[in-house]
Amino acid sequence: MTSRMSINSFTELSKVLANVSDDMFWEPIETDEDIVQFKDYIKHIEESQSWDRSRNKDKGELLEEFTMFLFNRFQDVRVTKNKRPADNETDIEAVMSEKAQPPFITQIIGPKIVCECKNKKSSSIDVGMVTKLAEILPTRGSSFGVFISINGMGGYAWRYGEGKRKKIMYKDRLPLISFTVKELEVLLEGNNFLTMIKQKYYQLLDEVDDETADIPEQPNIEYTKRLNEVIIHLEKCELMNSDMALEIKENIRLKYGEINND
């Protein structure tokens, strides 16, 4: 006779999974073989920026292979390429494991991630790409989208590609997060891709819900930078001491990731 898990047991399991290291669910880049492979991908992606237009298909496939390399490191994941006849584009689907997973995967990511790749240095992720991915997700049984590209999301604040994804998040609660290849290079330093996904998600969520004014007035400033500027401003106004400021800055770093100083 098969015993059923009680509500208390399920709750306890959920608590345990919530506190387990992300390294249990996404395998870090640690072995010599993986490090060499990762560096080779980065090297070839950089070299591909000078390839002739006749090799655009090769460029696209290169970034897709790198993306699949990253997503295949999730626990018991199934990663596939999906060719879309309607627009002749390819996206990556990562079907997450049905085994016990942390709350972020079960409650936020859901059963599947759909990822779009753009290996092109002359343009960013635009409104059209954001809209298209948002439209594709529900047809695939997914509620979480990822972009991996050279230049990242175009626009700033509530304008252009960046603004469009915020409007989609605000209206539909559909998260679309974005990584540049450069941002992902920190995975060689022991960082975890799942952790980075979490940080991008919470940054998007909190920025959409944040109705406070910018201090100082820089409407295009990155959210983590803006929060740190606010802390500096409050410290200068003697509304908090240096210890409080350092503690809050560290909490910002832990939740949203390192500040991009590029």
Give the whole-angstrom CA distance, residue 50 versus residue 243.
48
pLDDT at position 158 is 80
pLDDT (tens digit per residue) in 188-243: 999 999 999 999 999 999 888 875 544 444 545 677 887 888 888 788 878 889 99
Mean pLDDT, the chain, integer: 88
pLDDT (tens digit per residue) in 79-130: 999 888 777 677 999 999 998 899 999 999 999 999 999 999 999 999 999 9
Rounded to 10°, the helix 223-236/193-209 angle is 60
pLDDT at position 209 is 81
